[in-house]
Amino acid sequence: MRAFLLAGLGLNLVLAAAVALSAEKTDSAVKLTCPVAGKSIDKAVSSDYGGGKVCFCCTKCKAKFDADNSKFATKANLQLAASGQVKQTACPFSGGALKASTALKVAGVEVQFCCDNCKTKVASAKPDKQIELVFDSKPFKKGFKLAKDSAKDSAK
């Protein structure tokens, strides 16, 4: 009887793990949000930014962004990364080569670092701070390039 209960418990754990993994795989698309209001975007409402296009939920948010995009740069950079318009090419802190073993999800975007120290700096921060650490203008420029530019670099 005891062996039967333990076997049943083990089976439940295996099934729970399988469900969690399949949910993780199907939820791989990052939801793009307006960098001004944080709402779902309308792809018809966009502005050119950083060599790509940033989308907004409405024309009022687009107007706010166009008036002073520096207030919204971090979230706009996040949207560029989440939409695949930019690709990570270097560590956002050091500019060094990336190590796959340091991969970490930041707001749904996989980010890699040059070492575990840089990874820990982000991993130990709260979610909003993680976004700021990786996608603020200085680290973003150090670690990310437009996808079309990084494709040209790799062809050289």
Report the predicted TM-score, pTM, of the whole model to 2 decimal places: 0.78
Q: What is the pLDDT of residue 29?
A: 73
Least confident of 3-17, 50-64, 94-108: 3-17
Q: Give residue 149's pLDDT band: very low, low, confident or very high (50, 70, 90).
A: confident
pLDDT given at position 151: 57
pLDDT of residue 153: 58
The pLDDT of residue 24: 35
Domain positions in the chain are: 42-151
CB 41 within 8 A of CB 34: yes
pLDDT band at residue 100, thresholds of 50, 70 and 90?
A: very high
For residues 102-126, give the mean pLDDT.
98
| SS3 labels along 22-84 | HHHHHCCCCCCECCCCCCECEEEEEEEECCEEEEECCHHHHHHHHHCHHHHHHHHHHHHHHCC
Q: Which residues contact 117 (CB under 8 A, 6 or more apart)?
A: none
pLDDT single digits (tens) 80-95: 999 999 999 999 999 9
> Rounded mean pLDDT of the chain?
85
Looking at residue 14, its pLDDT comes to: 39
- Give percent helix, percent strand, percent coil of the chain, each to the nearest 5: 50, 20, 25
19-50: pLDDT as tens digits: 333 333 334 578 999 999 999 999 999 999 99
Taking the C-alpha atoms of residue 46 and residue 64, their distance in angstroms, rounded to an integer, is 12
Given this model, what pLDDT does residue 150 score? Answer: 63
Q: Which two tokens stand for residue 7?
A: 């076997």
Compute CA distances 129 → 4, 84, 107, 132, 136, whole Å. 48, 22, 10, 5, 10
Position 57 pLDDT exceeds 50? yes
Phi, psi (rounded to 5 degrees) for 46: -145, 165
